[in-house]
Amino acid sequence: MNASTALRSGDVSLPRVVILGTGMIGEVHRRAALLAGARVIGAMASTPERSESVADHWRTAALRSLDDITRLAPDVVHVCSPNGLHVEHVEAALAAGAHVICEKPLAIGSKAAEALAATAANRDRVATVPFVYRYHPLVREIRSRAAQGEFGRWQLLHGSYLQDWLLSPSATSWRVDAAAGGPSRAFADIGSHWCDLMEFVTGERISSLVAATTTTVAERPATSSRSFSASTATGGTLRRVDTEDAATVLFRTDSGVLGSVTVSQVSAGRKNRLWFEFDGEHRSAVFDQENPETVWLGSDALAEVLQRDPARGTSEQRRLSVLPAGHPQGYAQCFENFVADTYATVGGELREGLPTFHDGVRSAHIIDAVLQSARTGQWVHVRRPLVARRATAV
């Protein structure tokens, strides 16, 4: 069954979902849910008034409080709210018996993330985190080839994730405020994606790291605007920025491989450029998320450009290639495939590479280490998650 096919298993043939948080990413979740065959039965925004307005637009019910989750009894709750609300929202969803998709970071701090993962495991709920760049077909192609030994022993792992949506001193959002988004912004928001992708593709695990962060815009407007929008606030009160605009991390893996990543939300002209180069003893692989239809593969004898093609390559590349070759697919299809895989897992199927709360906990430990190293200037060991990995099917 194709990853974008609606979930059809048992009593959850048309999953009933509630979405908590209706901003930019909430809209992305809603679209993916509908395309996967779900019925959105409720939504909650930042205020009761906004909840009513969005629910009317989405043609669904407005939640007045988290208690309404139990009343609506959804199969899956999508948590798309600001980071500081994730713990409360995930706990409410699990208490209502729902499976959960929670945006990253899973929680502010690894202890809270571990507690959520433990609760989900104890309640035997499917609980996933949208590390959706795993769902680029050519990412799966590189991963499969790496597992087969095509690249040989890894020698250097490096890359970057660059954006410019906070380049202007007038740009702001709730993410800028540590009280709402957590003490890390750029790294927790996008560096977490890069690290998850590196570990997923290569099989390496970051063991220790040294990090430096910088805040290039000292003050931003106190009022918030929509994340990743072109709108900026003008006039009014300014507030001190207490989260980083950019970070650079140098790391070593468990097997001793050296690596580095630079992340930024103030790099002019870079809209959403997640880029990596993984260099092995036999071959290297380069991937650019803004140009995901091809990857560059190199050796000492030749270099080639590999094109996404559902008729060729490894099984996961073919499974996730929902459009023919030459018909570009990208971030939206990644999200759709991730949500469809989550729903399929709720229905009892097994799907390769589904990112779970275990991966969210792993990411939280890396973020904690980055913050500690940035404060101290020292190398820091990355703790291992305490929560055992749960089976992916119920």
- pLDDT of residue 227 exceeding 70: no
Label residue 14 by pLDDT band (50, 70, 90). confident
Percent of the chain whose predicted confidence (pLDDT) is above 90: 88
51: nearest Cα among 91, 18, 77:
18
Strands 39-44 and 61-62: parallel
What per-residue confidence (pLDDT) applies to 236?
74
3-state helix, strand, coil in the chain (%, to 5): 35, 20, 45
In 3D space, the residue among 253, 158, 286, 167 whose CA is nearest the CA of residue 216 turns out to be 167
Residue located via tokens 């208490």: 95
Lowest mean pLDDT among 26-35, 71-80, 218-227: 218-227
Q: Which of 157, 35, 131 is nearest to 331 (CA)?
A: 131
Cα angle: 190, vertex 123, 84; to 5 degrees: 35
pLDDT given for residue 235 in this prediction: 59
pLDDT tens per residue, range 20-49 = 999 999 999 999 999 999 999 999 999 999
Backbone torsions φ then ψ of 124, nearest 5 degrees: 55, 45
Instruction: Report how far residue 44's alpha carbon sits from residue 55's, in angstroms, rounded to the nearest whole number.
Output: 8
Q: Give the pLDDT confidence score for residue 2 in this predicted structure.
A: 36
Average pLDDT of the residues in 6-28: 78
Per-residue pLDDT, 392? 43
Residue 226: pLDDT over 50: yes
pLDDT in tens, 106-155: 999 999 999 999 999 999 999 999 999 999 999 999 999 999 999 999 99
User: What's the pLDDT tens digit per position in 268-278?
Assistant: 999 999 999 99
- The predicted pLDDT at position 72 comes to 97
If you compute the radius of gyration of the chain from its CA atoms, what whole number of angstroms results?
Answer: 20
pLDDT at 360 over 90: yes
pTM: 0.92
Beta-bridge partner residues of 208? 252, 381
9 pLDDT above the threshold of 70: no
Q: Which residue has the higher pLDDT, 229 or 240?
A: 240
Mean pLDDT of the 303-322 span:
96
- Tens digit of each residue's pLDDT (9 = 90 or more) over 366-378: 999 999 999 999 9
Higher per-residue pLDDT: 388 or 357:
357
pLDDT at site 223: 78
**For tokens 């030994």, what's the residue?**
149
